[in-house]
Structure 1
Amino acid sequence: MANPWRGEVALEIDGERRVLKLTLGALAGLEQELGAGSLVELVQRFESGAFSARDVLGLLAAGLRGGGHEMDAADLGRAEVAGGPLGAARAAAELLTRAFVLPEQAAGDAAHAGEGL
């Protein structure tokens, strides 16, 4: 089970439930991989709905690495994700939110996460 207090998000990939988490190392790698000037820039892209499929894949792959799963963005791009592209985008937005906001604060924010989807 995913623990929101630890920043974890659960997502079903290829029929298997996996727990994702953005660790500091995963975030640093993600920043470099996506070419974001800062994590704030990445958060702003999700808040405004201006994120790309590459952003979603990068976030989920970083979360998988942080959660101890060996799956890169290329493998994830070929995988069956529960909820399809919309489910993947929502999980990525939730993962990013949980990395920086306490669960009780996120309760209100989660209702708005991915509204631009």
Structure 2
Amino acid sequence: MMNPWAGEVALILDGERRVAKLTLGALAELEAAMQADSLVSMIQRFEEGAFTTRDVLAVVVAGLRGGGWRGTASDLMTLEIGGGAGEAARIAARLLARAFAPFEAT
């Protein structure tokens, strides 16, 4: 089950439901993959619409890896993402938004 309050996003890979999440380790991997100087510069690419398909792929891969998937970008390029490229971009945006959503203690 997917928990959006924990930063999780659901996606379909080759017909199988997966959960993605940008953990701290996944974010570090993502910074390196996107050759970003900082988390802020990485997020600005998406906010300004200056992201590439490679950026979307990197975010989705990092999120999947944060969710326990052990694949690579090369593996993901051979799998079908439910909803196609547009859905992949929406998933990447959701992952980033949920990773940095303010947490309110109860």
Q: Shared fold (TM-score greater than 0.5)?
A: yes
CA distance in 1, matches of 2:34, 2:41: 11
Any idea what SS the aligned residue of 2:77 has?
helix
More helix by share: 1
Aligned pair 1:35/2:35, yes or no? yes
1:10-89 maps to which residues of 2 (within 5 A)?
10-89=10-89
Q: What is the root-mean-square deviation in Å for CA atoms of aligned residues?
A: 1.4
Partner Cα separation in structure 1 for residue 12 and residue 55 of structure 2: 19
Distance in 1 of aligned mates of 2:46 and 2:94: 10
Instruction: Report how far residue 103 of structure 1 moved.
Output: 8.2
* In structure 2, C-alpha distance between the alignment counterparts of 1:43 and 1:32, rounded to whole Å: 14
Letter in 1 for 2:81: V
Q: CA deviation at 1:33?
A: 1.5
Gaps in structure 2 of 5+ consecutive residues: none
2:87 maps to amino acid: G
Give the CA deviation at 1:78. 1.6
The list of structure 1 runs, each at least 4 consecutive aligned residues, that deviate by more than 2 angstroms after superposition, is: none
* 1:49 partner SS: coil
CA–CA distance in structure 1, aligned partners of residues 50 and 34 of structure 2: 14
Percent of matched pairs sharing the same residue: 62
Return the TM-score normalized by structure 1: 0.84
- The code of the aligned residue for 1:36 comes to A
Q: TM-score under structure 2 normalisation?
A: 0.92
Question: Structure 2 CA distance, aligned partners of 1:44 and 1:38?
Answer: 10
Structure 1 CA distance for aligned equivalents of residues 73 and 89 of structure 2: 14
Contact 1:5–1:102, Cα closer than 8 Å, also in 2: no
